[in-house]
Chains A and B, each alone.
Chain A
Amino acid sequence: MNAKRKDFLATIMINLIVAVVVGILVFLLAYILISGLPHVSWSFLTGTTDAFSGAGGIGVQLFNSFYLLVLTMVISIPISLGAGIYLAEYAKDNWRTSLIRSAIEVLSSLPSVVVGLFGFLLFVVQFKIGFSVISGAIALTFFNLPLLTRNIEESLSAVSRSQREAGLSLGLSKWKTEIGIILPVALPGIVTGVVLSAGRVFGEAAALIYTAGQSAPVTNFADWNPMDAASPLNPLRPAETLAVHIWKVNTEGLASNAAQLSAAASAVLIIAVLIFNLGARVLGMYLYRRVTASNK
């Protein structure tokens, strides 16, 4: 009798807890979208920001976010692919490997602000490159490498041993087997991981404040020569991203409509993350079906 009452009470408690949690989650998403979306317009998405007050559109910041994302991925995917292959294929089960794994663990658990400060120290203070796209992209790479490496290693290791044996038994080198046979099978998992990490990189701000900087100089979108100072592709110009912009507007901004601005920018950010999330699922599923295509 007592046990049954307890069971009943516990169930009610848990249902209450879930109701609170769901309530918070729904409120969060609803608040951002409802307060932000009405202010999102074409001119907001493409317009330029007033450098002094921080008011105005987010066109440059949006471009910067994507540009940094692309650069980060271009740098971090090859490195983590090589490192993932090392861990999945070449690493022996010994103390050196476990040391390497610990190092990657440590890197992945460092707060992003520490990673950003390291980037600041290295690029801005030591190398005197200044706040720039490239400093930001490399800081984001540091932050992205451990996750991507682990994801790639896991996806590669999940491929059956028999596939490796098949490749090796035909006289293919280990490398060729890994690249030509195992990688295509592991691709769905890898792509899902890459897109999810893209979402994380897209929203990261703490690592960027002191590397990519907090200003978004107006660029000339007609000039695509990366060597020109005014070109949006110039890797040495400072580049405030959307996430940094939200922080900046809220902490130092003088715009009278700061709340509206950041609500709208947050809504855009959330929608981008949502797209990355859904994209990861859909793309992963599509590739999975292609790789295991049994019918066609």
Chain B
Amino acid sequence: MEQTHSQLRKPDAQPNEWAVRLHHATRATREDWLGKAISYLCIGVIILVVASMLWFITSKGIATFTQNHVSLGKFLTGTNWAPDQGQIGALPMIVGSFAVTFAAALVATPFAVGTAIFMTEISPNRGRKLLQPVIELLVGIPSVVYGFIGLAVVVPFMRHLVGGSGFGIISATFVLFVMVLPTITSMTVDSLRSVPRYYKEASLALGATRWQTVSRVILRSATPGILTAVIFGMARAFGEALAVQMVIGNAAIMPKNLISPASTLTSQLTSGIGDTIDGTLPNNALWSLALILLLMSLVFNALVRIIAKRGQLKHER
């Protein structure tokens, strides 16, 4: 072996010249070190932001229970929200948030799926050239604009139709429906497009009609994707603050019907947080509402993951 080594040396080289040369740190190794440091630092910043966000909001949110000794049960089931009098019942806002979210998703889903079927199966050409850009544009419209239209059009319309102030769950539902429609539609379109072409061709070749093919083959195999789209839409609706706050009326009372002023977690937060003093019960109570929002967003996140995992298993089988 020693012999072979000496063969590999250049005659004029010092015995370990190459060993030194090949072990020496160069510009490339320094660059790599620097690059690693920079990118680790950047990802570290993001992790730090997420961690401190979860930490701060959680610790603020549980102060109501740990410092002010409000019972969790009373907080979740109480219907009387008057923090300055020590009444911390968050149920009206919780009900309000879930009501507008489910109602908006319920109304929006058939419209979104119908539009998506049109864009992918009935008129793909017009779908791609006309509807797609418009829907992408709508996803980008700021929520205050939706809120303004709700205030300028929907609320007066409801007032005209059923009387009262026009503010309430139904107005909020309608505004949210229009807001989540583009989100759900564009994600549903993606999941319909990802259904393999040969599924459709096989079904049509067996003599099935277009509707049979769509309803029994395409929609069925795209179900996980559509569900994910709906959950994304619901997460957007649940977390939407300003558009809802502008049309729901912001009365922290149990909603008795769909057309009287009510409030949601977000609307109560936006209107209240600036008027309370840090560290007091009314302020802590609001942070507890924020904590519910945070937890719900984690739940939506987990749901999306579970569906994705289920969908994968189905495909593997």
Neighbouring A residues of B51 by C-beta, 8 Å = 103
**B251-275 to A contact mask, C-beta < 8 Å, 1/0:** 0000000000000001001100110
State how many angstroms separate the Cβ of A270 from the closest Cβ of chain B: 6
Chain A residue nearest to B213 in the complex (CB): A7
State how many angstroms separate the Cβ of A15 from the closest Cβ of chain B: 7
Answer yes or no: A282 CB below 8 A from chain B CBs.
no
Instruction: List B213-247 residues whose CB lies under 8 Å from chain A.
Output: 214-215, 235, 238-242, 245-246
In whole angstroms, how far apart are the Cα atoms of A243 and B153 in the complex? 19
Answer yes or no: B138 CB below 8 A from chain A CBs.
yes
Chain A residue nearest to B283 in the complex (CB): A125
Query: What's the A-B contact tally at a CB cutoff of 8 Å?
Result: 243
In whole angstroms, how far apart are the Cα atoms of A80 and B114 in the complex? 37
Q: A114-B297, A204-B142, A206-B143 are in contact. Are A89 and B210 (CB under 8 A)?
A: no
Q: Report how many residues on chain B are interfacial, defined by Cβ distance under 8 Å.
A: 83
Instruction: List B4-37 residues whose CB lies under 8 Å from chain A.
Output: 27-29, 31-32, 34-36
Q: A90-B40, A262-B148 are in contact. Are A120 and B273 (CB under 8 A)?
A: yes
Instruction: List A93-112 residues whose CB lies under 8 Å from chain B.
Output: 100, 102-107, 109-112
Answer yes or no: B2 CB below 8 A from chain A CBs.
no
In whole angstroms, how far apart are the Cα atoms of A14 and B215 in the complex? 12
Neighbouring B residues of A166 by C-beta, 8 Å = none
B294–A3 touching, CB < 8 Å? no
A86 is contacted by which of B29, B42, B114 (Cβ under 8 Å)? B42
Q: Report how many residues on chain A are interfacial, defined by Cβ distance under 8 Å.
A: 89
Neighbouring B residues of A196 by C-beta, 8 Å = 140
In whole angstroms, how far apart are the Cα atoms of A199 and B137 in the complex? 10
State how many angstroms separate the Cβ of B232 from the closest Cβ of chain A: 8
In whole angstroms, how far apart are the Cα atoms of A31 and B40 in the complex? 48
A106–B298 touching, CB < 8 Å? yes
In whole angstroms, how far apart are the Cα atoms of A72 and B6 in the complex? 61
Instruction: List B48-78 residues whose CB lies under 8 Å from chain A.
Output: 49-54, 56-57, 60
Q: A173-B35, A277-B137 are in contact. Are A86 and B43 (CB under 8 A)?
A: yes
Of the candidate stretches B83-91, B115-123, B158-166, B186-194, the one touching chain A is B115-123
Answer yes or no: B181 CB below 8 A from chain A CBs.
yes
B41, B110, B209 interface centre (most CB from chain A within 10 Å): B209
Q: A7-B210, A21-B115, A107-B50 are in contact. Are A176 and B140 (CB under 8 A)?
A: no
Q: A107-B46, A117-B269 are in contact. Are A82 and B31 (CB under 8 A)?
A: no
Chain B residue nearest to A199 in the complex (CB): B140
Of the candidate stretches A38-46, A222-230, A244-252, the one touching chain B is A244-252
A110 is contacted by which of B135, B209, B297 (Cβ under 8 Å)? B297
Q: A28-B178, A111-B241, A121-B60 are in contact. Are A7 and B212 (CB under 8 A)?
A: yes
B114–A175 touching, CB < 8 Å? no
A277–B40 touching, CB < 8 Å? no
Answer yes or no: A296 CB below 8 A from chain B CBs.
no
**A13-30 to B contact mask, C-beta < 8 Å, 1/0:** 111011011101100100
In whole angstroms, how far apart are the Cα atoms of A142 and B278 in the complex? 23
Answer yes or no: B106 CB below 8 A from chain A CBs.
no
Neighbouring B residues of A6 by C-beta, 8 Å = 209, 211-212
B178–A122 touching, CB < 8 Å? no
Instruction: List B91-136 residues whose CB lies under 8 Å from chain A.
Output: 110-111, 114-115, 117-118, 122, 131, 134-136
Chain B residue nearest to A26 in the complex (CB): B134
B178–A24 touching, CB < 8 Å? yes
State how many angstroms separate the Cβ of B280 from the closest Cβ of chain A: 13
Answer yes or no: B306 CB below 8 A from chain A CBs.
no
State how many angstroms separate the Cβ of A241 from the closest Cβ of chain B: 10
Neighbouring A residues of B152 by C-beta, 8 Å = 35, 259, 262-263
Neighbouring B residues of A21 by C-beta, 8 Å = 111, 114-115, 181, 185
Chain A residue nearest to B50 in the complex (CB): A103
Chain B residue nearest to A267 in the complex (CB): B145
In whole angstroms, how far apart are the Cα atoms of A22 and B127 in the complex? 11
State how many angstroms separate the Cβ of A4 from the closest Cβ of chain B: 6
A10–B57 touching, CB < 8 Å? no
A109–B145 touching, CB < 8 Å? no
23 interchain pairs, CB-CB under 8 A: A3-B208, A6-B211, A7-B211, A14-B114, A18-B114, A20-B111, A25-B138, A81-B42, A85-B39, A89-B39, A100-B46, A102-B301, A110-B239, A111-B241, A113-B239, A121-B57, A176-B31, A200-B140, A205-B144, A210-B273, A246-B144, A266-B148, A273-B141
Q: Which 4 A-B pairs have the closest CB atoms?
A: A111-B239, A175-B35, A203-B142, A82-B42
Chain B interface residues (CB < 8 Å from chain A): 27-29, 31-32, 34-36, 38-43, 45-47, 49-54, 56-57, 60, 110-111, 114-115, 117-118, 122, 131, 134-138, 140-145, 147-149, 151-153, 178, 181, 185, 208-212, 214-215, 235, 238-242, 245-246, 266, 269-270, 273-274, 278, 287, 290, 293-294, 297-298, 300-301
